[in-house]
């Protein structure tokens, strides 16, 4: 009987020990919907590079990513904005050191329905469309008439407030004290923003350029009335000529394991950056792609 229990104990030790060791081969990523498309592509490509490591990717917004990282539910937080002071303070209370890495750049595009004839928009006009106390309420206020848009009323589409895209658009475009106007349709994901603009002639929405489809078009954006407008593209995000290009981040804990660190090193390599470029984002540096 004693011998039997020794054998059972050995089997259980091997089983649970193996499971515990295997946990280090799973990298859990949560956060930015802007990064979700390329994060999935990175995970798929890395499986071919290192099949012993499984990369699990979830979205939900940058705020969700930081919360998951600090709660121990993620190993990497994807973010389309820098960590907020409140999140840093929370990390300090938990004695967690956050390490920031810029992994690419994105052009935040302003999407219009494909039949909308409007060519360009300035920061001031965007603020008067999306900002509190909005004064541009109809497309005719901007000098255009949109086919299929009943009453020409502008339908504004944005992201929920835990989104890094929401935070970045607010800080880049809107007056610091005003914030967003009431009545904006807040979508759960960047894909949802574009989908709604696709099927709504009256709509305007903001989202990452990588989510563009043939059924929408994007406005040429000018910083002010004296500046030329620039179209969002990988090139204009890379050289920062596009006024609302932004860095994209991955945040790790200072105590991250070696598998997680190796994954980030691969993402910043030419191979990883070429995956990012293929998905419509700008790499952190010049890369050579096959």
- Both tokens assigned to 94: 């938990």
Lowest mean pLDDT among 18-32, 107-121, 176-190: 18-32
Q: Which CATH code for domain 2-105+247-278?
A: 3.40.190.10
Question: What average pLDDT score do residues 35-42 get?
Answer: 95
Q: Does the pTM exceed 0.75?
A: yes
Domain boundaries, the chain: 2-105+247-278, 107-245
**Bridge partners (DSSP) listed for residue 77:** 30, 251
Given this chain, do its domains 2-105+247-278 and 107-245 carry the same CATH topology? yes
* Stretch 235-263: mean pLDDT: 95
The candidate with the shortest Cα–Cα distance to 279, out of 52, 103, 74, 58, is: 103
| Residues contacting 191, CB < 8 A, separation 6+ | 33, 211
Give the pLDDT confidence score for residue 30 in this predicted structure.
97
**Helix ranges, 55-106 (H):** 62-70, 85-93
Q: Taking the CA atoms of 54, 275, 197 and 219 in sequence, report the sign of the dihedral they define.
A: positive
Mean pLDDT of 238-249: 93
**Quick one: what percent of the chain has pLDDT higher than 90?**
86
CA dist 269 and 210 (Å) reads 21
Q: What is the pLDDT of residues 59-72, one digit of tens each?
A: 999 999 999 999 99
Please tell me the class of the 107-245 domain.
alpha beta
Which stretch of 40-44, 162-166, 216-220 has the lowest confidence by average pLDDT?
162-166
CB 128 within 8 A of CB 135: yes
**In angstroms, rounded to a whole number, what is the distance separating the alpha carbons of residues 15 and 226?**
68
Which residues are CB-contacts of 12 (< 8 A; sequence separation ≥ 6)?
none
Tell which residue, 241, 188, 259, 234, has the closest CA to residue 36. Answer: 188
Report the alpha-carbon distance of residue 253 to residue 69 in Å, rounded. Answer: 8
How confident is residue 8, by pLDDT bands cut at 50, 70 and 90? Answer: very low
Please provide the distance, in angstroms rounded to a whole number, between the alpha carbons at the two ends of the chain: 63
| Average pLDDT over every residue of 150-174 | 94
Quote the pLDDT of residue 125: 97
Give the per-residue pLDDT at 290: 84
Say how far residue 103 (Cα) sits from the centre of its chain.
12
């Amino acid at each position: 009987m004693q011998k039997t229990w020794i054998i059972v104990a050995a089997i259980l030790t091997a089983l649970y020990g193996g499971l515990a060791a295997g946990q280090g081969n799973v990298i859990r990523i949560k956060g930015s919907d802007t990064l979700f498309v390329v994060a999935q592509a990175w995970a798929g490509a890395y499986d071919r590079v290192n099949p012993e490591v499984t990369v699990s990717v979830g979205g939900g917004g940058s705020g969700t990513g930081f919360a998951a990282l600090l709660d121990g539910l993620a190993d990497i937080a994807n973010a389309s904005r820098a960590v907020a002071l409140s999140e840093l303070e929370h990390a300090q209370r938990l004695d967690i050191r956050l390490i920031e890495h810029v992994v690419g750049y994105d052009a935040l595009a302003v999407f219009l329905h494909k039949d909308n004839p409007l060519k360009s928009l300035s920061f001031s006009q965007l603020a008067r469309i999306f900002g509190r106390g909005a004064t541009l309420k109809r497309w005719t206020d901007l000098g255009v008439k949109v086919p299929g848009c009943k009453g020409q009323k502008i339908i504004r589409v944005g992201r929920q407030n835990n989104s890094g895209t929401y935070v970045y658009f607010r800080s880049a475009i809107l007056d610091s004290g005003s914030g967003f106007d009431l009545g904006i349709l807040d979508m759960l994901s960047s894909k949802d923003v574009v989908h709604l603009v696709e099927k709504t002639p009256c709509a305007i929405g903001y989202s990452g350029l990588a989510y563009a489809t043939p059924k929408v078009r994007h406005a040429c954006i000018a910083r002010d009335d004296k500046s030329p407008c620039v179209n969002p593209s990988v090139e204009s995000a890379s050289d920062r000529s596009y006024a609302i290009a932004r860095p994209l981040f991955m945040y790790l804990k200072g105590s991250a394991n070696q598998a997680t660190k190796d994954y980030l090193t691969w993402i910043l390599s030419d191979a990883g950056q070429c995956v990012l470029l293929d998905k419509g984002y700008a790499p952190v540096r010049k890369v050579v792609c096959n």
